[in-house]
């Protein structure tokens, strides 16, 4: 059998292992998925009534007040779901790397890429499932996307691509962490970035310095593209910038993670 075939087989074996581990340790997934849901409820019901009035009808998807804000904020909440879930990626990667089992894998003739690929694919499935749950909650609250099937397909593709990028980043952070505690803390910065983007309020309302930051950080173009696909707002050049950011983060993080994995010195 070819080397590629073995890589696929070993990755699938380790993917199964990681999904099984996620099922055995559900509290972590529940805590991670709870965060975006809490923020969704908080922003829609506490701030949403007021914030909705400040939105143009176009940004609010033709709704007014609280309903308008729900339509505005949901895409950002979905991205926050990704940012929250990948904290789990960093934790499970660090758990593996600080435990004894990784040394067992490294002394076996397993396809080199399979260990990390198994983690990344399991996290991707976990993240997409989390997004589906959070989206379900948003729809239950009254989120009314106007997307046609093609828009949906593009939206799912964008979410998967951006999740893939952040998962590789979290994998690298998990590999770089000296302990599971560090691994659970460092990716938290990712959950702050949506607040400093157009996810919660339009960047035009921000002071100059912050607006510059928000305009050039990845969450803004990804939010704008996703919002455009789901609720019909203007996308423009955001789509290409969002894809560029995602591909760039994925590639850079992949190379970083691979280097850390290959170079990792023992305890």
Partner 1 sequence: MSGAREPAISVSGLSKSFGQTAVLDDVDLTVAEGTVFALLGPNGAGKTTIVRILSTLIPADTGEAQVAGHDVASDPDRVRSAIGVTGQFSAVDELMTGEENLRLMADLHHLGRVVGAARIAELLDRFDLVDAAWRPVSTYSGGMRRRLDLAMTLVGSPQVIFLDEPTTGLDPRSRRTMWDSIRDLVTDGVTILLTTQYLDEADHLADRIAVLDHGRIVAEGSAEELKRRVPGGHVRLRFATPEALRAAADLFEGGSRDDEKLVIQVPGDGGVASLRRLLDQLDDADVEVEHLSIHTPDLDDVFFAVTGHPAAEKASA
Token pair of 263 as six digits: 């170079």
| CA-based end-to-end distance of the chain | 35
- How many beta carbons lie within 10 A of that of residue 206, not counting itself? 17
Token pair of 50 as six digits: 């007021």
Question: Vertex 94, ends 29 and 120: CA angle to 5°?
Answer: 60
Coil vs helix vs strand at 46: helix
Residue 99 is a binding residue for partner 1 (CB under 8 A): yes
**Cα 132 to Cα 124: distance, rounded to the nearest angstrom:** 12
Residue 177 CB, nearest approach to partner 1 (Å):
18
Residue 224 is a binding residue for partner 1 (CB under 8 A): no
Helices in 111-237 by DSSP H: which ranges? Answer: 114-141, 149-176, 180-185, 188-192, 208-216, 219-231
Q: Which span sits near partner 1 by CB under 8 A: 40-48, 100-108, 126-134, 193-201?
A: 100-108
Q: Which of 107, 140, 149, 209 binds partner 1 (CB under 8 A)?
A: 107
Residue 114 CB, nearest approach to partner 1 (Å):
8
**Cα 15 to Cα 114: distance, rounded to the nearest angstrom:** 9
Nearer to partner 1, 149 or 266 (CB): 266
Residue 113 is a binding residue for partner 1 (CB under 8 A): no
**Cα 123 to Cα 162: distance, rounded to the nearest angstrom:** 13
Nearer to partner 1, 17 or 144 (CB): 17
Nearer to partner 1, 96 or 224 (CB): 96
Q: Say how many residues touch partner 1, by CB under 8 A.
A: 24
Nearer to partner 1, 135 or 260 (CB): 260
Coil vs helix vs strand at 202: coil
Residue 158 is a binding residue for partner 1 (CB under 8 A): no
Residue 113 CB, nearest approach to partner 1 (Å):
13
Q: Buried b / exposed e across 229-240, counting CB within 10 Å, b at 16+?
A: bbbbbebeebbe
Q: Which of 149, 207, 209, 266 binds partner 1 (CB under 8 A)?
A: 266
**Cα 97 to Cα 231: distance, rounded to the nearest angstrom:** 42
Q: Which of 27, 204, 262, 265 binds partner 1 (CB under 8 A)?
A: 265
Which candidate, 80, 88, 81, places its Cα nearest to that of 28? 88
Nearer to partner 1, 15 or 70 (CB): 15
Residue 255 CB, nearest approach to partner 1 (Å):
21
Residue 267 CB, nearest approach to partner 1 (Å):
8
Q: Which of residues 5-44 bind partner 1 (CB under 8 A)?
A: 6, 9-10, 13-14, 17, 20-21, 24-25
Instruction: Give residues in contact with partner 1 (CB under 8 A).
Output: 6, 9-10, 13-14, 17, 20-21, 24-25, 99-101, 103-110, 265-267
């Amino acid at each position: 059998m070819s080397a590629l075939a073995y890589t696929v087989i070993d990755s699938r074996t380790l993917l199964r292992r990681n999904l099984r581990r996620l099922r055995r340790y559900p509290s972590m997934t529940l805590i991670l998925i709870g965060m975006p849901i809490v923020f969704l409820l908080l922003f829609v019901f506490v701030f949403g009534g007021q914030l909705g009035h400040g939105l143009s009808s176009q940004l609010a998807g033709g709704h007014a007040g609280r309903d308008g804000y729900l339509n505005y904020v949901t895409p950002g909440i979905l991205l926050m779901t990704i940012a929250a879930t990948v904290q789990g990626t960093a934790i499970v990667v660090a758990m593996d790397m600080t435990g004894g089992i990784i040394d067992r894998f490294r002394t076996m003739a397993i396809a080199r890429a399979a260990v990390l690929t198994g983690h990344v694919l399991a996290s991707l499935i976990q993240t997409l499932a989390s997004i589906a749950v959070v989206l379900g909650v948003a729809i239950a609250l009254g989120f009314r996307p106007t997307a046609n099937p093609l828009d949906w397909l593009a939206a799912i593709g964008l979410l998967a691509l951006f999740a893939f990028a952040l998962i590789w980043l979290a994998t690298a952070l998990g590999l770089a962490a000296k302990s599971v505690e560090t691994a659970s803390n460092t990716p938290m910065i990712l959950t702050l970035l949506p607040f400093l983007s157009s996810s919660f309020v339009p960047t035009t309302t921000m002071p100059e310095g912050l607006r510059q930051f928000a305009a050039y950080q990845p969450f803004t173009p990804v939010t704008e593209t996703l919002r455009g696909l789901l609720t019909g707002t203007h996308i423009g050049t955001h789509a290409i910038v969002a894809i560029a950011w995602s591909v760039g983060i994925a590639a850079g993080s992949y190379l970083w993670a691979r280097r850390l994995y290959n170079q990792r010195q023992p305890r």
